[in-house]
Structure 1
Amino acid sequence: MEEPFNPSPPRPRRRRVFSGLRNSFLTGIVVIAPVGLTVWLIWTVIGWVDGVVLPFIPNSYHPENIMKTVFGNDTQVRLRGLGLLFFLIFTTFVGWLAKGLLGRSLIRTAEGLVNRMPVVRSIYSGVKQIAETVFAQADRSFEKACIIEYPRKGIWAIGFISTKARGEIKRRVNGGKELLSVFVPTTPNPTSGFLLFFPAEDIIELDMTVEDAAKLVISAGLVYPNENGGLSIKNSENQNNDAKKV
């Protein structure tokens, strides 16, 4: 005798509601977290700059004292940004002065004094090289995103093409043929990584932008750029469905 067909019982309504709430909560976290972290970071940096710069500004010019003078002593307002404003004005003025003849003469004199100090000159030269590398207008960004076979054949890694090899490295390696310097970042912190030199023919340049490639690295492969120029993210609901199928 054949047993009647018993379809699987329907999913409890309470579980469906809980799953929907959980997915909505995770989606909200994905939306809010980048905005919240960005605002928090900007607010923290402004506060840090104010804490360093404001001690050099007379108290009568502090925002709190100005507010008390205008609206009375009972006014309690905490304003940020004055120190950052003074820092930007001062830095711009120093840069403008350094481009002139007098500024260049003062810089050469100061560097001459620093170079006579054994320990200080090492610190100064290192910091100066880092600053020039980071803030140089011509070479401050990577040229292209690429993919390379690293650390062995058959394994591929995302990299960023920085410059063409020059000088001694080009002369001594690969018979003087064209070499490209490639920065291979780590995940999820792309500020650390490896500087590698590859022959140009061993590098596959990608159509995605440097920013999209960086997002791919930071997300550990979860965020891919799509063909329309946007980003493709696999949401948690699809992941749950895939897991159930397995």
Structure 2
Amino acid sequence: MKKYFIAGILVWAPMAVTIWVITWGLGLLDGVFGSVVQAIMAVLPRESAAELQRFRELPAVGILIVVAVVMFTGLIAINFAGQWWLKVWDKFVNRIPVVRSIYSSVQQVSSTLFSGSGQAFSKALLIRYPHPNSWAIAFQTGIPAKEVSSKLGEDYVNVFLPTTPNPTSGFFMIVPRAETIQLDMSVEEALKHIVSMGSVPPTSSTGLTSSQSPSHF
């Protein structure tokens, strides 16, 4: 009975987690659309608001509209006219106190993560954590700011150390480059290795194998 139960868990657990993540993402998109609809309904006459509410209650309509709006925005953004409007919007937002700090930070992080030329998560590294005699897998996210580099006086790198089994949280650290070891495994393989708590070895020929141990590092 125990063997059958574990086998069933191994089949259903990946599927359940995948469905949960997709459902969470779609629900988030639908919630964004719902907030916009509620704001519009607040300023519309009662009859028009009722019609909009019935439209809002159609299954998956919020998700489809949000996806369509995002795609349409991306189509406009890559055109010359769209880029001009984006520059105007950026100038307007950057004049608002507090908002400009949040907006510019998120904009820079998004550009770094989603552009192919960024340095974010470019390499998988081994760093000494939490003490000198143990190692952890982290991801290089760039190089320190000029002020930080000038005060440290050595060659350092920025790294993100994810937690296990939830890699969306973790620690931002600045460590000496000389005390890191670059791994041959890809970022995706390293992330799988972390999420699995080391139980799933990388599949590439250059990555770890199940026969290797930490002493080989």
TM-score normalised over the length of structure 2:
0.69
Structure 2 Cα separation of the partners of residues 143 and 186 of structure 1: 18
The percent identity for this pair of structures is 38
Distance 1:86 1:230, change over 3 A: farther
Indicate which of 182, 186, 193 corresponds to 1:216.
Answer: 193
Q: Could you say which residue in structure 2 is the equivalent of 1:124?
A: 103
Contact 2:119 2:142 in 1 (8 A): no
Shift of 1:154: 1.4
- 2:20 is aligned to 40
- Bigger drift between 187-196 and 162-171 goes to 162-171
Superposition pairs for residues 131-210 of structure 1, below 5 Å? 131-139=110-118, 141-165=120-144, 167-175=146-154, 178-210=155-187
Equivalences, count: 195
Query: 2-side partners of 1:42 and 1:183: how far apart?
Result: 25
**Contact 1:174/1:199, CA 8 A, preserved across alignment:** no
Return structure 1 stretches of 4+ with deviation > 6 angstroms.
226-231
1:140 Cα offset (Å): 6.7
For residue 183 of structure 1, give the secondary structure of its aligned residue in structure 2. strand
- Structure 1: runs of 5+ lacking an equivalent: 1-20, 65-77, 233-246
The Cα shift of 1:171 comes to 4.0
Query: Per-residue displacement from partner, 1:14-63 (whole Å, max 9, x unpaired)?
Result: xxxxxxx112211211221111221233234334433543748x86x959
Question: 1:35 & 1:231 partners in 2: Cα distance?
Answer: 25
Alpha-carbon distance between aligned partners in 2 of 1:147 and 1:230, rounded to the nearest angstrom: 13
Cα distance in 1 for partners of 2:145, 2:102 equals: 26
Match of 2:106, SS state, is helix
Unaligned runs of 5+ in 2: 41-50, 211-217
Q: Which amino acid aligns with 2:161?
A: V
| Range with greater deviation from structure 2 (95-104 or 223-232) | 223-232
Secondary structure, counterpart of 2:201 in structure 1: strand
Q: TM-score normalised to the size of structure 1?
A: 0.62
Question: What is the Cα deviation at residue 190 of structure 1?
Answer: 1.9
Task: Tell me the SS of whatever aligns to 1:196.
Answer: strand
Residues 231 and 129 of structure 1: CA distance in aligned 2, closer, same or farther (over 3 Å):
same
1:184-218 Cα offsets, whole Å, 9 max, x none, are 22223222222233333322222333233223322
Distance 2:195 2:67 in 1: 31
Q: Residue deviations 1:54-98, cap 9 Å, x none?
A: 748x86x9598xxxxxxxxxxxxx743x43333233222222323
Q: Residue in 2 aligned with 1:73?
A: none
Cα offset, 1:220, TM superposition: 3.0
Asked if 1 retains the 8 angstrom alpha-carbon contact of 2:157 and 2:174, the reply is yes
Contact 2:167-2:195 within 8 A present in 1 as well = yes
Question: Residues 17-56 of structure 1 correspond to what in structure 2 (within 5 A)?
Answer: 21-53=1-33, 55=37
1: distance between equivalents of 2:170 and 2:30? 33
* Residue type of the alignment partner of 1:201: A
SS in 2 for 1:223: coil
